[in-house]
Chains A and B, each alone.
Chain A
Amino acid sequence: MGWMKHLFTRRRRYDELSEAMREHLEEKIEDLMDRGLSREQAERAARVDFGNVVAIHERSREVWEWHTVESLWADVKFAGRQMYKSPGFTLTCLLTLTLGIGANSAVFSAIEMILLHPLPYREPGRLVLVSESLPLMAGSSDVGVSAQEYLDYRQQNTVFDDVAAFETDEFNLTGTGQPQRVKAARISATALPLLGVTPKIGRNFTAEEDHHGSDHVVLLSRALWQSTYGADPAIVGKMIHLDETAYTVVGVMPASFRFPMDAAPPSERANLWLPIAFAPNLLKAENRTMEFGVGLIGRLKPGISTKQAHSDIDQIASIFMRRYGYSGTLHVSPHVYPYAAHGVEGARSLLILLAAAVLCVLLIASANVANLLVARATARTHEIALRLAVGAGRVRLIRQCLVESSLLGLLGSIGGIALAFLLVAGLRSFGPASLPRLQDVEVHPSVLLFAVGLSLITSVFFGFAPAWRLSRVPPEASLRTARQAGADRGSQRLQNSVAAAEIALTFVLLIAGGLLLRSFVRLLESPFGFNPKNAFVVRTVFDRVRYPDPVKRDVAQKEVLDRLSRLPGIDAVAEASHLPLSDTRQIGFRLEHAAEDDFKMAENSLVSWGYFRAMGISLLVGRDFNSADRRDSVPVAIINQALSRKYFAGQNPIGKHFDWGGRGLFTIVGLAADVHISSLDSDPPPMIYFDMFQIQSGVSGNTAFVLRGPRAGPELLPSIQQQVWTMDRELPLYQAATLQSLISESLAQRSFTLVLVGAFAATALLLAAVGIFGVISYLVTQRVREFGVRVALGANRSQIARLVLARGASIALVGCGCGLGVSLFGSRLVLTSLYQTNRFDPVLLFMVLGLLFSVVLLASWIPARTAAKVDPMRALRID
């Protein structure tokens, strides 16, 4: 308890101590004066004999102190006062750190979750996806495998522990209030054991249930179980109705189970799982090469690589292609992808680009803080030398600088952490829905730790280095020279190169931002092919169970079209099975007189009369579908320009014929303008439109109504519902949206990238400007005397200003040079995000150069003016 007592009586002790020392000196002086010394001489002699009063006092006090902690606290308090005294410096440092840490933690947390976070399956690294592509289809689109091929792969492979099949599907869920459209997945009975997942309640499908006819069982998602069935614990064994057919619930899956839409946003995820139970139709010999679309997932045997698996699969494929006579354009080439990476492929380049950009910002932020700290420490040479001279301990001084910079780093980190949480929350609510697993993104602790660590190391190191160097200089030397000699060359060179590095990084970011912006503008300027204004879309489904008779279905659809067209403020109404920027469906057709196996691919949509008018797609030549096109008349088609260019170059396509799906020869009756299908930045593919009231297709009854008119918008939805439900209460209406929103959705990921990279570039520019300003101002302070001498010797004031500006310009020059070099290589990163834009665009290059130089000159201008105003009398006076 001794220390407690000490703590309370200490102040009194310190007072006594000072008192005793004062008495001592007094008495000594008086004695010396008695011996005949003058008061002044006596005081001097007494002090020499006694020693350094302040240091001795401090040493005596230390006896009572709780040493380290207390002096540390004193240092912290001192550092706080220092920071408070120079709010500009402090605020700049803190903001820089906050921004650097916050933005980095957010972006890297997103990367961790989206690209690196393991899926919730047993040993997810051994899961691979097998899919085939058809070489005749341009590009690399995977089509999955056919049911029979799946069985071949399953039986003949030597590389997998097991394989499973999956497909996506949709159902009308009825009998639970309003009809719901639910996403579902069909999976083989092997899927759950292969993934290492068991239902939360209930059981998996049995192998017997995975056969056509005995497959009316279903597993529910946890979300659906809770929202629609009130988390009924006795759900297992109950019946639910999907497309008017009864299914028995056998279990509920855990909340984390999202197979096979692992990366999809919540609205796209499966809510039901059913046995895949291939229909006999799918297993027919001719459908081996016609009906693809089955997903195949395999678990690699231990020690087998993706490459080995690929060669095994390839061999199996070549065997069955030979045996079943795959010929001509029907050739398939199988691929093996790591399962987890495949699902997030689309986001990879975007995230890597963002990571590179945000890392640049972090580096610039660190560089800025480093520069500020170095400049400040050097500016304090005088103060530190003075403190050394009056007896401050070296260790103590270094520790104090260290405490100051760590305090800065710490406060910046706290700000950064807060910002990171804010940004991640923002990312979740405003990020593009197409970004996989976006809703799962959370601030990742180790990412946070890394960013905080980096900033702490920067601030501590750059706070410590100059303090350490200064403390080794004999104080009399620094005291003599601090105010007159120019800055010591070492720290100046360091500062210049740090500033140049900032410029270089900013250059790279500005180039990246510029390229993205140009691409974006190009995209918006390029024709969409349809008119997105004043158009509204709502989807429904005329399923075959409810409308088994095609004639009755046509009547119902026409009635809906008729009712909708009579809504006030609606000029045109039409229907389509597939809409641009939302759905894609490809068909293989043969040109007239082509070989038996010479298939060409085209996008396809079945549309009602007036579709082109309702969508605002121009019909260039020929006619629209009309009531003369009946089921029993000659099948007709409308094609787009891309198809005409590709297969009828230089000819009039109207009246030409092609064969599709054994339905006889189709006659081309119209030519429509090109429309972007999968996305705005991919070229419009060849496309064939059929008349939905003429052609019976394999398409499920999914259909979209397009309404055009001045009043077409979301506020019309209640009237639409009323009209449709008057006719059929059980028709689900879903995905109501304007055409404009389809465009913005298609651009969402791009605009998101653009906004972020743009924000990073702007931040970098700002930080770099602050950095340059700091370096040049510091330079001017250091060279005030020199400028004074120059002015005194007759130098023109504008010459002085030019001298300073030249320094800024030379830093900018070096920085831009390095930046140019880096961006030549680095622009590869934005390559996938460019659209009709040259990545070495010289105009952009000059614009960025111009912008950077003007910012640097602006930042140097203020200190240059100060330098030009130097008063030689004041500058040369020695203090």
Chain B
Amino acid sequence: MVNRSEYRDLFPGALEMMILQTLSRRPMHGYALAQHIKSVSDDLLQIEEGSLYPALQRMLKAGWLKSETGVSARKRPVRVYKLTPAGRRRLEQERLSFEKMFAGINRVLAVAES
């Protein structure tokens, strides 16, 4: 079924965390953001580029991002997304909980192997 997107999310919150992380370095516009996530993950994470947009809207609504007018690499005027202080706090929380979860999973895996 076409409408059932297999790429919708990697796991809950993963796409959001990657966007927050990427934007915490510098503000970017949509296309650049997509290219960045793709290249950094070495194409391991197959995401539909379009699926960034619903995520971006959710985060705008939550107040973690704000949008501004900027210029693209091709010197075109574009929407640039920028992290807000609330976004920064959110990133910290997400990262912490993710690390905790990751450590937990690691431990379980280690026990299972031995």
Residues of B33-82 whose CB lies within 8 A of A: 34, 48-51, 53-54, 56-58, 61, 67, 72, 74, 76, 78-79
Does B30 interact with chain A (Cβ within 8 Å)? yes
* With A56-B54, A389-B2 already in contact, 12 other A-B pairs whose C-beta atoms are closer than 8 Å: A19-B79, A20-B78, A21-B53, A23-B29, A23-B72, A49-B49, A51-B5, A51-B48, A53-B50, A57-B53, A60-B57, A61-B57
A60 vs B30: C-alpha distance when bound (angstroms): 14
State whether A63 and B78 are in contact (beta carbons under 8 Å apart), knowing that A23-B31, A24-B49, A56-B51 are contacts in the complex.
no
The 18 sampled A-B contact pairs (Cβ below 8 Å) are A6-B61, A17-B53, A20-B29, A21-B50, A21-B53, A23-B76, A23-B78, A27-B31, A27-B72, A49-B48, A50-B50, A51-B7, A52-B2, A52-B50, A56-B48, A60-B57, A391-B3, A392-B3
Chain A stretch 1-18: residues in CB contact (< 8 A) with chain B: 6, 13, 16-17
Find chain B residues with CB under 8 A from A55 CB: 3
What residues of chain B have their CB less than 8 Å away from a CB belonging to chain A?
Answer: 2-3, 5, 7, 29-31, 34, 48-51, 53-54, 56-58, 61, 67, 72, 74, 76, 78-79
Query: Which chain A residues lie closer than 8 Å to B72 at the CB level?
Result: 23, 27
Complex CA–CA separation, A57 to B50 (angstroms): 9
Residues of B within 8 A of A28 (CB): 31, 49
**How far is A16 from B74 in the complex, measured between Cα atoms in Å?**
19
Q: Measured between alpha carbons, how far is A6 from B60 in the docked complex, in Å? A: 11
Please give the distance in Å from B35's CB to the nearest CB on chain A.
8
Cβ of A17 and Cβ of B57 under 8 Å apart?
yes
A23 to B53, CA, bound (A): 12
Set B31, B54, B74: member contacting A59, Cβ < 8 A:
B54
The 10 residue pairs across chains A and B that have the minimum distance between CB atoms: A51-B50, A56-B50, A51-B48, A63-B57, A59-B54, A27-B31, A60-B57, A20-B79, A50-B50, A60-B54
Say yes or no for A64: interface residue by CB 8 A criterion: yes
A53-B50, A389-B2 as given contacts; A27 in contact with B57, CB under 8 Å = no
Minimal beta-carbon separation of B30 from chain A (angstroms):
5
A393 within 8 A of B: yes
Q: Are B78 and A64 in contact (CB under 8 A)?
A: no
Q: Mark A28-55, 1 if CB is under 8 A from B, else 0.
A: 1010000000000000000001111101
* A30/B3 in contact, CB under 8 A: no
Q: Kindly state the separation between the CA atoms of A391 and B5 in the bound complex, as whole angstroms.
A: 11
**Chain B residues, CB < 8 A from A389:** 2
Is the pair A16, B79 in contact by a Cβ cutoff of 8 Å?
yes
Residues of B contacting A50 with CB < 8 Å? Answer: 48-50
Q: Which residues of B contact A30 (CB under 8 A)?
A: 74
Residues in A with CB closer than 8 Å to B29 are 20, 23-24
Is the Cβ of A63 less than 8 Å from the Cβ of B3? no
Chain B: minimal CB distance from A518 (Å): 63
A821 and B29 alpha carbons, distance in the complex (Å): 77
Most chain B CB within a 10 A radius of its CB, from A19, A30, A51, A391? A51
Task: List residues 43-95 of chain A with CB under 8 A from any CB of chain B.
Answer: 49-53, 55-57, 59-64
- Tell me the bound Cα distance from A6 to B57 in angstroms: 12
Contact A21 B2 (CB under 8 A): no
Q: Say yes or no: A64 contacts B50, CB within 8 Å.
A: no
Q: Of all chain A residues, which has the CB nearest B33?
A: A24
Bound Cα distance A53, B2 (Å): 13
Report the nearest B residue to A23, measured CB to CB. Answer: B78
A interface size (C-beta, 8 A): 32
| Residues on the A chain within 8 Å of B61, using CB | 6, 63-64
> Which of chain A's residues have a CB closer than 8 A to the CB of B2?
52, 389, 391
In the complex, the chain A residue whose C-beta lies closest to that of B76 is: A23
**Nearest CB in chain B to that of A389: its residue:** B2
Chain A nearest CB from B4 CB (Å) reads 10
- Contact check, A64 vs B34: say whether CB atoms are below 8 A apart: no
A489-512 interface mask toward B, CB cutoff 8 Å, 1 = contact, 0 = none? 000000000000000000000000
Q: A21 vs B54: C-alpha distance in the bound complex, in angstroms?
A: 11
- Enumerate chain A residues within 8 angstroms of B5, measured Cβ to Cβ: 51
Question: What is the distance, in angstroms, from A477's C-beta to the closest C-beta of chain B?
Answer: 13
A420 to B30, CA, bound (A): 61
Known contacts being A6-B61, A30-B74, A389-B2, is A20 close to B30, with CB within 8 Å? Answer: yes
A residues neighboring B (CB under 8 Å)? 6, 13, 16-17, 19-21, 23-24, 26-28, 30, 49-53, 55-57, 59-64, 389, 391-394
Report chain B residues within 8 Å CB of A57: 53
CB atoms of A20 and B74 under 8 A apart: no
Closest B residue, CB atoms, query A393: B3
Residues of B within 8 A of A19 (CB): 79
A20-B78, A21-B50 known; A63+B31 contact, CB < 8 A: no
Q: Once the chains bind, are B79 and A23 in contact (CB under 8 Å)? A: yes
Q: Who on chain A is nearest to B53 by CB?
A: A60
Give chain A residues whose Cβ lies under 8 Å from the Cβ of B57.
Answer: 13, 17, 60-61, 63-64
Which residue of chain B has the shortest Cβ distance to A56 in the bound complex? B50
Instruction: Report B78 CB to chain A, min CB distance, Å.
Output: 5
Q: How far does the Cβ of B29 sit from chain A's closest Cβ, in whole Å?
A: 7
- Cβ contacts under 8 Å, A27 to chain B: 31, 72, 74, 76
Task: Please tell me if the beta carbons of B49 and A23 are within 8 angstroms of each other in the complex.
Answer: no
Across the two chains, which residue of chain A brings its CB closest to B73? A27
**A391 vs B49: C-alpha distance when bound (angstroms):** 17
Chain B residues contacting A52 (CB-CB under 8 Å) are: 2, 50
Whether A20 touches B50, Cβ cut-off 8 Å, given contacts A52-B2, A391-B3, is: no
Shortest CB-to-CB span from B48 to chain A, Å, is: 4
Q: How far does the alpha carbon of A199 sit from the alpha carbon of B51 in the complex, in Å?
A: 80
**Complex interface: chain B residues within 8 A of A394 (CB):** 3
Asked whether, in the complex, the Cβ of B54 is within 8 Å of the Cβ of A24, the reply is: no
User: Residue on A with the closest CB to B58?
Assistant: A63
User: Which residues of B are found within 8 Å of A17, using beta-carbon distances?
Assistant: 53, 57
Task: State the Cβ distance, B37 to closest chain A Cβ, in Å.
Answer: 13
Chain A nearest CB from B43 CB (Å) reads: 12
User: CB-CB < 8 A to B3: which residues of A?
Assistant: 55, 391-394
Most chain B beta carbons < 10 A, residue from A16, A56, A393 = A56
**Does the CB pair A24–B30 fall under 8 Å?**
yes
Contact at A51–B51, with CB atoms within 8 Å?
Answer: yes
Chain B residue nearest to A390 in the complex (CB): B2
Q: How far is the CA of A61 from the CA of B50 in the complex (A)?
A: 13
- A6 CA to B29 CA, complexed, in Å: 22
Tell me the bound Cα distance from A288 to B62 in angstroms: 96
CA distance A21 to B34 in the complex (A): 12
Determine whether the beta carbon of A24 is less than 8 Å from that of B34: yes
For B5, B49, B51, B74, the residue with the greatest tally of chain A CB atoms inside 10 Å of its CB is B49
A335-B48 Cα distance, complex, nearest whole Å: 87
Closest CB-CB distance, A50 to chain B, in whole Å?
A: 5
User: Bound state CA distance, A50 and B51, in angstroms?
Assistant: 8
Query: Of all chain A residues, which has the CB nearest B1?
Result: A394
Within the assembled complex, what's the spacing in Å between the Cα atoms of A391 and B7?
15
Complex Cα spacing A63 to B16, Å = 14
Bound complex: CA of A6 vs CA of B67, how far in Å? 15
With a cutoff of 8 Å between Cβ atoms, the chain B residues found around residue A62 in the complex are: 54
The residue from A6, A21, A59 contacting B30, defined by CB atoms under 8 A apart: A21
Q: In the assembled complex, which residues on chain A have CB atoms less than 8 Å from the CB atom of B49?
A: 24, 28, 49-51
Chain B residues whose CB sits within 8 angstroms of the CB of A21 once the complex forms: 30, 50, 53
For the complex, give the distance between the alpha carbons of A274 and B2 in Å: 86
Contacts of B78 in A (CB 8 A): 20, 23
Chain A's closest residue to B69 (CB) is A16
A6 to B49, CA, bound (A): 26
* Bound Cα distance from A63 to B3, whole angstroms: 17
A50 to B30, CA, bound (A): 11
Look across to chain B and name the residue whose beta carbon is closest to the beta carbon of A14.
Answer: B57
- In the assembled complex, the Cα of A64 lies from the Cα of B53 at a distance in Å of 12
Give CA–CA (A394, B4) in the complex, Å: 11
Kindly provide the distance from the CB of B72 to the nearest chain A CB, expressed in whole angstroms: 6
Which of A55, A59, A389 is most buried by chain B, counting CB atoms within 10 A of its CB? A59
How far in angstroms is the closest Cβ of chain B from A388?
A: 8
Question: Closest Cβ of chain B: how far from A431's Cβ, in Å?
Answer: 58
Q: Could you tell me the distance in whole angstroms from the C-beta of A444 to the nearest C-beta in chain B? A: 47
CB distance from B69 to the nearest CB of A (A): 10
In whole Å, how far is A374's beta carbon from the nearest beta carbon of chain B? 25
Docked Cα-Cα span, A394 to B54, in Å, equals: 20
